[in-house]
Amino acid sequence: MVRNKFFKYFIIIVSILAPIVSFYLWQIFYTANLNTEKDRDFYLLIPSKSARFETVIDSLKANKMVNNEMYFRFLSKVLKYPDHVKPGRYRIKPNTGNYEVIKALRSGNQAAVKLTFNNVRLKQDLVEKIGNKFEFDSTEFKRMLNDPAVCQFYGFTPETILCMFLPNTYEVYWNTTPQKLMGRMKSEYDKFWTNDRKAKAKAVGLSPVEVITLASIVEAETKKKDEKPRVAGVYLNRLAISEPLRADPTVIYAIGDFGIKRLLHHQLLYKSPYNTYINTGLPPGPINLPEPSSIDAVLNREKHDYLYFCASPKLNGYHIFAVTYEEHLRNAKLYQEALNQLGIKK
């Protein structure tokens, strides 16, 4: 009797407590406890040198990301997260429960940084694109770009190393290193240069680096994709007869004044290995990071007899092409008159 009575009481107590315990466990596991006061994602950064549980707690508290710290701590210990803290960048969506966040943190399921390369002329431009996007110091990355030994390791020189960085958007982990980033870019470069592209480069008599260098000039000359193969054809024709390229963008690059709209005669004589008015062949390296469309324009250049071109007097971004120098001078005069009418002197 006593035994049956005790069992009945036990059942009653369990019946009462079970829903209560379940309710609190549900709250601890799944009820929104992080990033509840904002309507956008929060990115938690856990540094490699201080990847500790208390660092995570301090960061969450400093950014007012956790409502009930006790619940978060309790579940973290249950899931053994304090012993498995991994550095990185983690996304916390608005109104997220403890379990979802701790599971991502414990597994190291990072939110990658989207790194985009475009509109880059100089190494410094590239360094600034990286800026503070990653854990590492960008000054170390800049040092590597200028280190002959590092550049040689990847198959380049300090003048050509920018060829390795193809404009695109890449997903990279926040806690990567300069070395890993360089390795990733080399991998992307090798992937881009398929056997088909290598064969086309060989067909035009250029190495992949030389193709990119020429593509950078094409990129600077025109933004019109349908015109790029024709412009590339002009420069390849000039290279074939050892005629200086006489590409205005190379002079502007050499001078370093990218606001120049009209080059003057004395500027064309500016002493620099990048000045293709006074040097034959290609410059030592690219004058920007050309888009893949410009690279492919060189590989698939238009075959023609043009040796000259100048901007159209319509100033619509297109160019007028010529076979003879006399024809080119007539075209150039029309363009210069158009600039004069607009009062553009330099």
Q: Is residue 96 part of a domain?
A: yes
Same domain, 138 and 224: no
Q: Is residue 20 part of a domain?
A: no
Distance CA 169, CA 336 (A): 39
Distance CA 71, CA 67 (A): 9
pTM above 0.95, yes or no: no
Residue among 96, 92, 93, 90 nearest 113 (CA) = 90
Q: Is residue 26 part of a domain?
A: no
pLDDT one digit per residue (tens) for the chain, 346 residues: 545 555 454 455 544 444 544 444 445 554 666 777 778 999 999 999 999 999 999 999 999 998 888 889 988 999 999 999 999 999 999 988 888 999 999 999 999 999 998 889 999 999 999 888 999 999 999 999 999 999 999 999 999 999 999 999 999 999 999 999 999 999 999 999 999 999 999 999 999 999 999 999 999 999 999 999 999 999 999 999 999 999 999 999 999 999 998 899 999 999 999 999 999 999 999 999 999 999 999 999 999 999 999 999 998 999 999 999 999 999 999 998 888 888 776 5
How many distinct structural domains can be found in the chain?
3
Q: Is residue 232 part of a domain?
A: yes
The residue range of the domain holding 92 is: 31-107
Distance CA 85, CA 328 (A): 67
Q: What does 93-159 look like in DSSP terms, one character per residue?
A: -TTEEHHHHHHHHHHT----EEEE--S--SHHHHHHHHTTSSSS-HHHHHHHHT-HHHHHHTT--TT
What tokens were used for 46?
């856990």
**Do the beta carbons of residue 85 and residue 71 sit within 8 Å?**
no
| CATH assignment at residue 92 | 3.30.1490.480
**Do the beta carbons of residue 86 and residue 175 sit within 8 Å?**
no
Which residues does 99 contact at the CB level (< 8 Å), separation at least 6?
29, 30, 75, 79
Q: Is residue 132 part of a domain?
A: yes
What tokens were used for 54?
């208390």
Same domain, 103 and 118: no
